[in-house]
Structure 1
Amino acid sequence: MKYLKKVSKLAVIGLMAASLVACGGNKKAETADAAAGDEQVKIGVISYIEQVSLDNAIKGFEDRLKEEGINAQLEVENLQGDNALTTTAPKKFEGDEYKLVYAVATPSAQGAKTALPNKNIIYAAVTDPVEAGLIEAPDKIDHVTGVNDAVSAKTQLESFLKIYPDVKTIGTLYSTSEANSLVQIEDLKKACDELGLKVEIVGINNINDVSQALQTITNKIDAYYALTDNTVASAGPIVAEILLNNNLPSVSAEEGQMSKGLLMSEGVDYYEHGKQAADLAIRILNGEDIKNVHAEDNKKAAKKINEKTAKALGLDLNSENLKDAELVK
Structure 2
Amino acid sequence: MKNLRSLSKVLAGVVLSGMLVACSGSGSQGQTQAKASGGSEPIKIGAISYIEHVSLDNSIKGFEDRLKEKGINAIVEVENLQGDQALTTTVPKKFEGDEYKLVYAVATPPAQGAKTALPNKNIVYSAVSDPIKAGLIEAPDKIDHVTGVNNKSIAKEYLSSFLELYPDIKTIGTLYSPSEVNAQVQVEDLKNACNELGIKLELVGINSINDVSQGLSGIVNKIDAYYAITDNVVAAAGPIVAKTLLENNLPSVSAEEGQVMKGLLVSDGVDYYEHGKQAADLAIRILNGEDIKNVHAEDNKVKSRKVNENTAKALGLDLNSDYFKNATLVK
TM range (shorter): over 0.9
Residues 43-192 of structure 1 mapped to structure 2, 5 A cutoff:
43-192=45-194
The size of the alignment, in residue pairs, is: 309
Mapped partners of 1:23, 1:108: distance in 2: 37
Mapped partners of 2:174, 2:107: distance in 1: 19
The normalised TM-score by structure 2 is 0.92
Change (3 A) 1:285 1:316: same
- The one of 188, 195, 198 equivalent to 1:196 is 198
Secondary structure class of the residue paired with 1:166: coil
- The one of 236, 239, 242 equivalent to 1:237 is 239
After TM superposition, give the deviation of residue 123 of structure 1 in Å: 0.1
Mapped partners of 1:34, 1:214: distance in 2: 50
After superposition, the C-alpha distances for 1:244-264 in whole angstroms (9 at most, x for unaligned) are: 000000000011100110000
After TM superposition, give the deviation of residue 195 of structure 1 in Å: 0.2
Mapped partners of 1:37, 1:69: distance in 2: 6
Mapped partners of 2:307, 2:261: distance in 1: 9
- 1:30 aligned residue: 31
Secondary structure class of the residue paired with 2:32: helix
After superposition, the C-alpha distances for 1:104-152 in whole angstroms (9 at most, x for unaligned) are: 0000000000000000000000000000000000000000000000020
After TM superposition, give the deviation of residue 23 of structure 1 in Å: 9.2
- 1:295 aligned residue: 297
Secondary structure class of the residue paired with 1:101: strand
- 1:248 aligned residue: 250
Deviates more, 1:294-303 or 1:311-320: 311-320
> Are 1:208 and 2:226 counterparts?
no
Mapped partners of 1:83, 1:232: distance in 2: 15
- 1:226 aligned residue: 228
Secondary structure class of the residue paired with 2:38: coil
In structure 1, runs of 5+ residues without a counterpart are: 1-20
Mapped partners of 1:318, 1:165: distance in 2: 18
After TM superposition, give the deviation of residue 321 of structure 1 in Å: 2.3
Mapped partners of 1:291, 1:215: distance in 2: 48
- 2:15 aligned residue: none
Secondary structure class of the residue paired with 2:174: strand
Mapped partners of 2:64, 2:322: distance in 1: 37
Mapped partners of 2:278, 2:32: distance in 1: 20
- 2:9 aligned residue: none
After TM superposition, give the deviation of residue 324 of structure 1 in Å: 2.1
Mapped partners of 1:26, 1:165: distance in 2: 62
- 2:8 aligned residue: none
Secondary structure class of the residue paired with 1:221: coil
Q: CA RMSD in A?
A: 1.0
In structure 2, runs of 5+ residues without a counterpart are: 1-21
- The one of 258, 261, 269 equivalent to 2:260 is 258
- 2:219 aligned residue: 217
Secondary structure class of the residue paired with 2:44: strand
Deviates more, 1:38-47 or 1:22-31: 22-31
Identity of aligned residues (%): 75
- 1:307 aligned residue: 309
After TM superposition, give the deviation of residue 29 of structure 1 in Å: 1.4
The normalised TM-score by structure 1 is 0.92
After TM superposition, give the deviation of residue 240 of structure 1 in Å: 0.3
Secondary structure class of the residue paired with 1:75: strand
